[in-house]
Amino acid sequence: MVATASDPVAAHTAAVTPVVDIRNLSKTYKLVLGKEIQAVVDLSLEIKQGETFAIVGPNGSGKTTTMKMLLSLLFPTEGELLLFGRPPGHPEVQSRIGYLPEAPYFYEYLNGRELLEYYGKLCGVPSSVLTKRIEDLLQMVDLLERGADMPVRFYSRGMRQRIGIAQAMINNPDLLILDEPTNGLDPIGTVQVRQFILEQKKQGRTILLCSHLLSEVEAVADRVAILHRGKVLAIGPVEELVPESHQWELVATGLSREAIATIKAAGFSPDVHGDVATITSESQDDIYHALGLVRDNGGQMVAINRPQPTLEQQFLKAVGEDDLRRTVGSLQRSAQKKNK
């Protein structure tokens, strides 16, 4: 239902209305004995049409809870949620979303083809297009030969994930919500999912995914939100979250203890593991100076690198710093209590 050039007003409205608009969203689970879990805390974000947005975060950070609220499978405790400018439960919204759950569960006695037929009919896909679409989707997820006629109860974990992806596409959705899409897939499957996401992106679909595989996210996402304990720690384009490197790295081998001592005396701090020494600096001139010292002292250069920080490092830094602040805070509080 992507707006077309024949309807310029609808096209303009679709382009300016965010596909996902989350404002100050919170979700608190109420447990027994008055206990509560704050799964999502004051989350705000917008996803524009055609954007691929990823939520990354450690276990229990609120990713699935956020997705379930978007699907109106859970109700927010506070805040506002709009999809295509409408509330999540609206029938038009539902018909425009494809969802791959975290742990897809299917009716075990249906085979792959029957399962897609079942979901297709459930989503109101006309019979005239359903049969062809099912075959195309089975082909896309590599289950046409092995899986189409096999009951789902005999599927491996990766095969379940693949039929789950096909199921999410059965209604030709405008917004794809993928909760850990590479869960249980082998390396080939992981690459196929990456290609699948890039292909959907090319076709103009809006994609929201959450993943632990930060390198995967880095390869496909336009923007990323790092979620931790229900709160957004950082949000922005991947290239903004991962700043450009200013580091140089010289890797050398064949250096004696005396040679290492000479390099240290020149002001460098080589990191030595066995026969391999790594010298880092922000200055390219210093690295060439170090290279001279290596050669003059009987060593050989292995490589000069410019190591790029990865999203994973940024993620660990953001999450680690937050954990550190909490630990220090709670230590300070307990010290204050003791001193009272």
Which residue ranges make up the site for ligand ATP (CB under 6 A)? Answer: 29, 37, 39, 57, 59-65, 102
Alpha helices in 100-186 (DSSP H): 112-122, 127-140, 157-169
Nearer CB in complex with ligand ATP: 39/148: 39
Nearest to 67 by CA among 282, 225, 256: 225
CB of 62 to Mg ion, least distance (A): 8
Q: What is the dihedral of CA 216, 217, 221, 225, to 10 degrees?
A: 180
Tally: H helices and E strands in the chain: 12, 13
DSSP H or E segment with residue 216: helix 214-220
Q: Of 154-173, which residues contact Mg ion (CB under 5 A)?
A: none
Nearer CB in complex with ligand ATP: 174/216: 216
CB of 117 to ligand ATP, least distance (A): 30
Q: CB within 8 A of 334, min separation 6: which ones?
A: none
The option from Mg ion, ligand ATP, none interacting with 209 (CB < 5 to 8 A, set by class) reads none
CB of 115 to Mg ion, least distance (A): 23
Binding residues for Mg ion, rule CB under 5 A, total 3
The option from Mg ion, ligand ATP, none interacting with 62 (CB < 5 to 8 A, set by class) reads ligand ATP
Whether the Cβ atoms of residue 40 and residue 65 lie closer than 8 Å to each other: yes
Whether the Cβ atoms of residue 43 and residue 66 lie closer than 8 Å to each other: yes
Nearest to 44 by CA among 28, 59, 56, 26: 26
Q: Of 64-83, which residues contact Mg ion (CB under 5 A)?
A: 64
CA angle 317, 187, 238 (to 5 degrees): 35
The option from Mg ion, ligand ATP, none interacting with 65 (CB < 5 to 8 A, set by class) reads ligand ATP
The option from ligand ATP, Mg ion, none interacting with 190 (CB < 5 to 8 A, set by class) reads none
Nearest to 27 by CA among 78, 89, 81, 83: 78
What is the rounded distance in angstroms from the CA atom of residue 115 to the CA atom of residue 108? 9
Nearer CB in complex with Mg ion: 49/64: 64
Nearer CB in complex with ligand ATP: 176/287: 176
The option from ligand ATP, Mg ion, none interacting with 107 (CB < 5 to 8 A, set by class) reads none
The option from ligand ATP, Mg ion, none interacting with 331 (CB < 5 to 8 A, set by class) reads none
CB of 48 to ligand ATP, least distance (A): 23
Q: Does 280 bind Mg ion (CB under 5 A)?
A: no
Nearer CB in complex with Mg ion: 38/95: 38
Contact residues for Mg ion, defined by CB under 5 A:
63-64, 102
